[in-house]
Structure 1
Amino acid sequence: MEKRLPGITGLGDACCGCGACAAKCPHGCISMGRDKCSFLHPSVNANICVGCGACDSACPVIGKREEDDCEAVYWAKSKNEPEKLASSSGGIFALLAHEVLNAGGVVCGAAWESDFKGVRHVLIEDEADLDSVMRSKYVQTTVGVEVYEGIRAALKANRRVLFTGTACQVSGMRGYLGKLADSEFLLLVDVICHGVPAPLLWEKWAVWREARAGAPLRGVNMRSKTTGWLSFSAAYEYAAEKDGRAVADGSAFGDDWYFKAFLSNASLRPSCFNCPAKRACGSDITLGDFWGVQSTHPDVDYEGGVSAVLCNTAKGVAALETLGANLERGESSLEKVLPGNPSLVRSVRPYARRDEFMRDLGDGMGIDGLMAKYDFKPTLVQRARGKLGGAKRRLKKLLGR
């Protein structure tokens, strides 16, 4: 009789690439391989697979969870001004991480590879390493088996753990951990996610920038606040002469071609257009920028950044309470968060020529060719809508609404 392969082998584009299946497999018969655009997908060795179903039970797509609750919603920001400015939004992740690290725990987040050509999740146990997992990185990360195993080992040793990632990654971690995911020592935090761009596009973009600068990358800040929080920019740092460091290039977020591709939804993973985990990942806290806070909470000083904080569980509420005097916050609501963060509950729509763009990328077209073919300029209709929206906002402001 023919052996039946796990359901993960038939997911195709629905796979979100979290790697939970490979980590969960008790026989090590699943490996994560990259497609033409460097997105990770599972591959099953049928000669070893015993059909136990462990991989399917961990999968965020196959084992889709019920909708998350929402215990409380806040606008919030750290009172540590330098750390807040070094963060993407209000510095809440850093405050949560300090609490865990100071208790001898483990923090897991996304960090750049040493050459800045990719991003992977890492485990840190030292305050000195916290900066490496701070700030948004708009590239799909790799969550290796060693990360899953490290978190499980820490929890079994009754050590506190903070795991942060996209909703699908949080859901995958819950699936991998099983009952251990309900441990009092584990705090799961997901970030409001627009979608994850292809690792290959970032790698090509990084190489292209290095060639233009004539020096290797030594730092990337995709959310630099040197131009402000509302008008943040992308900053690229290169090796300077005599082994120094110098900010040699940078541009407003909306003017950077890589980010134009991201915001146009041209470079996103296919599963991002039908996300299986939005508001259904089992996180304790959801974090994001509180876009529009200046309108919904006009009395809040938003300079330097403000976070939207959704406490989905009682554990999440308790974690926020422990931040105490280090945190400035106020009550808000989902209704006030959603206008500036529609991707919190709704998957984005693909760019009209997304398949063509990804095919060109995967078939070897370079950055110069891609930039010439895809400029991602807004259409006439989009520009008209933008002007109309701006006029409406100015009118409301004039009328004091």
Structure 2
Amino acid sequence: MLVDKDSCTGCSACFSVCPTRAIKMSQDEEGFWHPIINMDKCISCGRCERACPLLHNVETREVREVYACYSMVNSIRLDSSSGGIFSVLSEQILHQGGIVFGAAFEEEYRVVRHIGVEDAEGISKLCGSKYVQSDMSSVFAAIQKYLSERRYVLFVGTPCQVAGLRNVVKKNIEYLLAVEFVCHGVPSPAVWSSFLQEIASDNTAIQGLKFRDKSLGWRKYTMKIFFEDGEIYRSNVEENLYLQGFLSGLYMRPSCYKCSFRKKKRVGDLMLGDCWGIERMSEDQSFLTDQGVSLLSIQSDLGEHFWKKIKSRLHIEKISYMQAMKYNRAIISDSYHHPRRSIFFKQFAKKTYPTSQIIADELDLNIKERLHRRLWAICELVKNWCIRNSV
């Protein structure tokens, strides 16, 4: 390991630059990707260390402007997790002959992997939130190939993935539009695969899946699964144990509990997320419907260039970065470290009970644990205020 295991983000940057293939990405006992170094193949060239965003810090950028926005094409807005900005931005990149890289479901929706797409059908695979850590190991070489051809590349990922990519790409960077999304943290791929298998075991093949279906509204997180025989599984956050475990920090990657990239300054050209609190920031009634509103921040000249290209297709209102950080605390606040995380993974490894039952058992906090969570929330509010008001 290049860094402490609990600090590693699994971005795969080290894997992508190794000239002797001495590094492989392997899943640990919790299902998270980690680099494993074969010292017999290692030539001590140091490339992996220079690529690691924890060992070699990426230059961060000031947030220039922040907007609340949504696509004026209603079908795009409703099909998205927030306001549909990713789709509009992707269309612009494709129009200019570029390619888009983002997270897609594969292997019957049990795996999330970054892929590159060049058409509208491909963009649909990348739309929507995926609350699972994606496998990044196969995209770095492809991105560098397209950049060498001087084609625009839109990459969308977590802040740590963007940081890793920026450490790897050194040529033709003026063609790389790196977009980070506001990240709550990444859950274990193994937990997701197991949970989905339990849901799908008595049904036909899955034809579609959304973590953030808007049938019940944007604010009501709702998982929706479409099966081949026409059956539909729908479960909102009040019922869905996987979403509850995710939002409670029960099975996040260890690095998410002390993230190195949730900062006031950012690593991408643009940042996208939910514009929570828009009802407190705007009197525009069109923002107050429950159809989804995106937060977009501009952090570079290239980001500003593409913002100007797409903004005529959006309904927009400029907002304060201070307000954005206040209402979407995941911009700068770490994930909650659930007190029963280690117990959960011990039970999960035994596979004595269904994953859904293990989640339910470990989410049932006692009084001491509830007090711990409340104190943590207060501390995060104070930390958030301090960061927002820092110079």
Q: Structure 2 length normalisation: TM-score?
A: 0.89
1:219 aligned onto 2:204: no
Alpha carbons 1:194, 1:343 under 8 Å: kept: yes
Ranges in structure 2 where 5+ consecutive residues have no aligned partner:
376-391
From 136, 141, 144, the counterpart of 2:134: 141
Residue 71 (structure 1) shift: 1.1
The letter of the residue matching 1:141 is: S
* Cα shift readout 1:334-374 (whole Å, capped 9, x = no counterpart): 11111221110121230011111122223334325404522
From 299, 307, 312, the counterpart of 1:325: 312
The letter of the residue matching 1:208 is: E
Please list, as runs of the form range in 1=range in 2, the aligned pairs for 1:56-67 lying within 5 A after superposition: 56-67=49-60
1:397 is matched with which residue? none
The letter of the residue matching 2:149 is: A
2:381 is matched with which residue? none
1:364 aligned onto 2:364: no
1:112 aligned onto 2:100: no
1:189 aligned onto 2:179: yes
Alpha carbons 1:72, 1:310 under 8 Å: kept: yes
Rounded to whole Å, the distance in 2 between the matches of 1:223 and 1:372 is 21
> Per the alignment, do residues 382 and 256 of structure 1 end up closer, same or farther by CA in structure 2, a change over 3 Å counting?
farther
2:253 is matched with which residue? 269
2:166 is matched with which residue? 174
Segments of 4+ moved more than 3 angstroms:
375-385
Alpha carbons 1:168, 1:281 under 8 Å: kept: no
1:392 is matched with which residue? none
* Cα shift readout 1:281-301 (whole Å, capped 9, x = no counterpart): 520000000011011113242
> Per the alignment, do residues 272 and 148 of structure 1 end up closer, same or farther by CA in structure 2, a change over 3 Å counting?
same
Number of equivalenced pairs = 369
1:290 is matched with which residue? 275
The letter of the residue matching 1:175 is: N
* Cα shift readout 1:291-349 (whole Å, capped 9, x = no counterpart): 11011113242331111111111221121110142111111111111122111012123
The letter of the residue matching 1:196 is: V
Residue 247 (structure 1) shift: 4.4
Rounded to whole Å, the distance in 1 between the matches of 2:224 and 2:272 is 23
* Cα shift readout 1:4-28 (whole Å, capped 9, x = no counterpart): xxxx434211110111100011221
> Per the alignment, do residues 73 and 11 of structure 1 end up closer, same or farther by CA in structure 2, a change over 3 Å counting?
same
2:262 is matched with which residue? 278
Please list, as runs of the form range in 1=range in 2, the aligned pairs for 1:236-247 lying within 5 A after superposition: 236-240=225-229, 246-247=230-231
> Per the alignment, do residues 371 and 271 of structure 1 end up closer, same or farther by CA in structure 2, a change over 3 Å counting?
closer
1:344 aligned onto 2:331: yes
The letter of the residue matching 1:374 is: E
2:144 is matched with which residue? 152
1:231 aligned onto 2:216: no
Alpha carbons 2:158, 2:182 under 8 Å: kept: yes
Rounded to whole Å, the distance in 1 between the matches of 2:17 and 2:374 is 50
From 116, 132, 153, the counterpart of 1:123: 116
Alpha carbons 1:9, 1:43 under 8 Å: kept: no
Rounded to whole Å, the distance in 1 between the matches of 2:337 and 2:374 is 21
Task: Please say which structure displays the higher CA radius of gyration.
Answer: 1
* Cα shift readout 1:140-194 (whole Å, capped 9, x = no counterpart): 000123x1111001001000100000000000111111354xx221100000001
1:200 is matched with which residue? 190
* Identity across matched positions, percent: 31
Alpha carbons 1:264, 1:376 under 8 Å: kept: no
